Amino acid sequence: MAFQIRSIAPACRSLNRTACLIKRPDSFARLFSSARIVLHENPLGLPRSGAPPTLPRMQRGLPTKRKLPGVDRIIAVSSAKGGVGKSTVSVNTALALAQAGKRVGILDADIFGPSIPKLLKLSGEPRLSENNQLLPMSNYGLKSMSMGYLVGEEAPVVWRGAMVQKAMQQLLHEVEWGGLDYLIIDMPPGTGDVQLTIIQRIILDGAIIVSTPQDIALIDAVKGLNMFKKTDTPVIGMVQNMSVFVCPNCSTHTHIFGTEGVVRTAEKHGLSVIGDVPLHASICQHADEGKPTVVAEPESVYAQAYRKIASAIIEKFT
């Protein structure tokens, strides 16, 4: 008896994967398994109903910006600096908008270090619509999509730039949001592949720059600000995060990261400070428990700070 070992071409593997999704009734709604095959043209492994159209390279030109179906306004929450609280500001602002009666979604654009699933206390894999689109996962009245739903919590995403760009395109255009008044995009640090893909592929209605007051953070935050200016993306304003720490025991105010740095930077660039969020002792606990501040302490001064940001967004587009 003889055996012949043959490799399967990528296109065949993709077709086999789609066939498996159709044959197994419990797997159409689930995306990934340990046997998932990652292809350059389809890094998220979404089933395809047919081959994507191809054009000669010279006919493709630059990417065409477009609106997302059913989404009225798209707001990027950004800072080229990491660790300044973009995700916390994004989630709480999105929830504040939802509490104001708006239909809101949040897209976690951090491919390598997604935070939204933890902040919203969500886990598991998203389901697929009848059109093979990802369906957002929801909690606290907020729809969300994140790379964190598509890989294991401790699984690293080790991809080069081309794969990251394609994955970001899929997260932008292959999610079925339904009707939204606002989609908040939680941007990753930097001014690289993900940022450029988002700016080139969709029409952003505005951007919010988040920074702590310290100079070391503001240096990079200004780079992010200038990125939006160069790409003609309107900047709604700046948010000064962790502006002051108020001791829960003695009420002493301590400016851990400096004083009014964001205010001075905003004035220099002709922008408004639309939010000033103090640093509070329970923020770490809220994040670990998956209960953002506007949910855990809705009447606190911290929740009020996020509602002020939400009000500035609503006012901007009213």
Phi, psi of 95, deg, nearest 5: -70, -35
Same-domain check for residues 186 and 275: yes
The per-residue pLDDT for range 202-239, each reduced to its tens digit, is 999 999 999 999 999 999 999 999 999 999 999 999 99
Instruction: Round the average pLDDT of the chain to a whole number and report it.
Output: 85
Is residue 60 one of the residues assigned to a domain? Answer: no
What domain range includes position 25?
10-50
Residue 72 in contact with residue 110, Cβ under 8 Å?
A: no
Ranking 85-99, 133-147, 156-170 by mean pLDDT, the lowest is 156-170
Same-domain check for residues 76 and 116: yes
| Strand intervals (E) in the chain | 71-78, 104-108, 137-139, 142-146, 180-186, 206-211, 235-246, 253-254, 273-279
Same-domain check for residues 175 and 80: yes
Residue 88 in contact with residue 287, Cβ under 8 Å?
A: yes
Residue type, position 148, single letter: G
Percent of the chain with pLDDT over 90: 65
Higher pLDDT, 10 or 181: 181
- State pTM to two decimals: 0.84
Structure token pair of residue 108:
């976690």
The per-residue pLDDT for range 267-313, each reduced to its tens digit, is 999 999 999 999 988 888 999 999 999 999 999 999 999 999 999 99
Question: Which pLDDT belongs to residue 138?
Answer: 98
CATH code assigned at 282: 3.40.50.300
Is residue 58 one of the residues assigned to a domain? Answer: no
Sign of CA dihedral 110, 155, 104, 175: positive
Same-domain check for residues 34 and 137: no
Structure token pair of residue 229:
């200016």
Same-domain check for residues 40 and 77: no
The per-residue pLDDT for range 32-80, each reduced to its tens digit, is 444 454 566 677 877 765 444 554 554 455 678 889 999 999 999 999 8
Is residue 65 one of the residues assigned to a domain? Answer: no
Same-domain check for residues 276 and 204: yes
* CA count, 13 A, side-chain hemisphere, 5: 0
Residue 239 in contact with residue 309, Cβ under 8 Å?
A: yes
Is residue 57 one of the residues assigned to a domain? Answer: no
Same-domain check for residues 247 and 104: yes
Same-domain check for residues 212 and 137: yes
Same-domain check for residues 143 and 42: no
The per-residue pLDDT for range 166-194, each reduced to its tens digit, is 999 999 999 999 999 999 999 999 999 99
Is residue 167 one of the residues assigned to a domain? Answer: yes
The per-residue pLDDT for range 133-148, each reduced to its tens digit, is 999 999 999 999 999 9
Same-domain check for residues 141 and 262: yes
Same-domain check for residues 43 and 135: no
Question: How many Å apart are CA 135 and CA 126, to the nearest integer?
Answer: 6
Is residue 61 one of the residues assigned to a domain? Answer: no
Structure token pair of residue 258:
């400096």
Q: How many structural domains is the chain composed of?
A: 2
Question: Which pLDDT belongs to residue 38?
Answer: 56
Question: Which pLDDT belongs to residue 46?
Answer: 79
Is residue 123 one of the residues assigned to a domain? Answer: yes
Same-domain check for residues 85 and 26: no
Mean pLDDT of 243-262: 85
Is residue 182 one of the residues assigned to a domain? Answer: yes
Question: How many Å apart are CA 161 and CA 167, to the nearest integer?
Answer: 10
